[in-house]
Amino acid sequence: MKENNDKFDENLLEEIRLCFGGWILRGNNFEIVPKELTHSYLLNNFSPSEQIKEYYYSPCRDMFTDKDFEYFKSTGYVGNPKTTLDIYPFCFDGAFIQRKQLYYRIASLISRTENYNNKPLKSFIDLFPYFEDYGKGFKVGFESFEDDCIKKFLPMFADKSDFVNKTFEYVNKHVIFSHSWRNNHSGFKVSKNIQQKFDSPGEIIEAFEDGKFQGYFYRAWSIILSNVNLFESLFSEITNVNAIDSSIISDILYASHTMQQNKIFWNADEDTKTRQLLDLLPNKYQVKDQSKYGKSSVGKKAGSVDGVIKHNEIDIFVEAFSLKSLNRKIIKTHIHKLELNYDSKGLKEKFIIIYYNLAVNKFENSVKKYKEYIENEHLFVFPLFNEIEEIEVNYTDSRLLKTYHKREGKEVVLYHLLLKFPE
């Protein structure tokens, strides 16, 4: 059993990232999940196919590096690096906690203090009241998964295959920042009073809802792992496990929000902000900004984009600029360059990042004007073919829009990340 008084720092993050064998954070007598339905028991006794195992372990795959694996091997470990890190290695009063989500939430507390139940969170043990409420939600989610997430969506005369398909759909569907098995990780959801200063602590909310959501997922996987023969053919059809997905988007948002908290960057120029944002991305990415490409005395070299994020041999281009109001010429110039000048091979996804320095309560109207402009006025090189999607983010001073375009008969995407800094 682990009673952890550690401060929120990089050492604690490393413990969470590479924890092997699990932590019981509190309580030995609480049982929400029967032993025969725990994932560790099912993985050891029901021999799921490699496709099922790879999908199950995929959330933590990018947390385990080649260097980590070499170290593990030096201690006698002989396992598969793709399936080394348990997804739920932490247990609090019988409620399982996902590794990657805990990692990102602890990371968010290193750079700033938040409150829970109006008490500041300064060390790991201060999170226990949050885990208590999380555990209550986890119990409800685990026990009500079939009623809440499956049965009400079945056809009138459903059979076993309908149940199997709906359960598979639950763990496989992807609604960005709302529902994703592989990439549902972010910082805590925080509420702030409108009178509070930008850098003052907020109140962490939705602990029960967080637990309920993970309870749903845990139960769904208990069903799959205890009935592997029914699900093997469905998982064998998944071929895009390594495709670009919301993990990159989530990491860019996390880096952006971290930069917004630092007053040093509030009035910095756009190049400095972009360089800092790229530097804040996890080490799993290779990043280059325009300073690393080289810059001429009169500006960027031809074809030199502001930033490139490379992951799993896939590039994502980033074009960033500053605005104080709707400047159609600046917006048009930067979007055109990103669409046409820099991308000669037709990348699937690219990012536009806009830094606004605005007074309080001016951001919402600026976002509205920008959205109206790109929707109704701007002439994209590759035309819009769908409605603009606004993706939910955790904080009020950022917005993320997604536009869909046709390029040579294929769908490509532009993400528009709008970030507000104090004037």
pLDDT of residue 29 exceeding 90, the answer is no
Of the chain, the end-to-end C-alpha distance in Å amounts to 49
Instruction: Quickly count helices (H) and strands (E) in the chain.
Output: 14, 16
* Torsion angle (degrees, nearest 10) of CA 142, 145, 146, 149: -170
DSSP state of 264: G
- Domain extent listing, the chain: 10-236, 246-422
CB 103 within 8 A of CB 175: no
93-107, 191-205, 238-252: least confident range: 238-252
pLDDT of residue 131 exceeding 90, the answer is yes
pLDDT of residue 175 exceeding 80, the answer is no
pLDDT at residue 297, as a whole number: 30
pLDDT of residue 187 exceeding 80, the answer is no
pLDDT at residue 198, as a whole number: 54
Nearest to 101 by CA among 265, 237, 211: 211
Phi/psi at 243 (nearest 5 deg)?
Answer: -70, 160
pTM over 0.95: no
Confidence of residue 209 (pLDDT cuts 50, 70, 90): very high
CA 167 from chain center: how many Å?
22
Question: 400 pairs with which residues across the strands?
Answer: 391, 417
Nearest to 53 by CA among 15, 98, 86: 86
Round to whole Å and give the CA distance between 62 and 282: 10
Length of the chain in residues, anyone? 423
pLDDT of residue 384 exceeding 80, the answer is yes
CB 413 within 8 A of CB 348: yes
pLDDT single digits (tens) 42-93? 999 998 998 899 899 988 887 888 888 899 999 998 888 889 999 999 999 9
Nearest to 353 by CA among 286, 300, 293, 306: 306
Phi/psi at 47 (nearest 5 deg)?
Answer: 45, 65
DSSP state of 301: P
Round to whole Å and give the CA distance between 293 and 275: 12
| Beta-strand pair 23-26/90-92 | parallel
CB 225 within 8 A of CB 365: no
pLDDT single digits (tens) 221-277? 999 999 999 999 998 866 444 444 556 887 888 889 889 988 889 989 999 999 999
Nearest to 33 by CA among 100, 99, 92, 103: 92
The Cα-based distances of 370 to 328, 373, 386 in angstroms read 9, 5, 17
CB 278 within 8 A of CB 309: yes
58-62, 121-125, 286-290: least confident range: 286-290
User: How are strands ordered across the β-sheet holding 203-204?
Assistant: 119-120, 115-116, 203-204, 190-191
Phi/psi at 256 (nearest 5 deg)?
Answer: -65, -45
In whole angstroms, how large is the CA radius of gyration of the chain?
23
pLDDT of residue 102 exceeding 80, the answer is yes
The Cα-based distances of 327 to 245, 313, 367 in angstroms read 31, 35, 13
Phi/psi at 23 (nearest 5 deg)?
Answer: -115, 135
CB 276 within 8 A of CB 265: yes
Helix (H) or strand (E) holding 314: strand 314-323
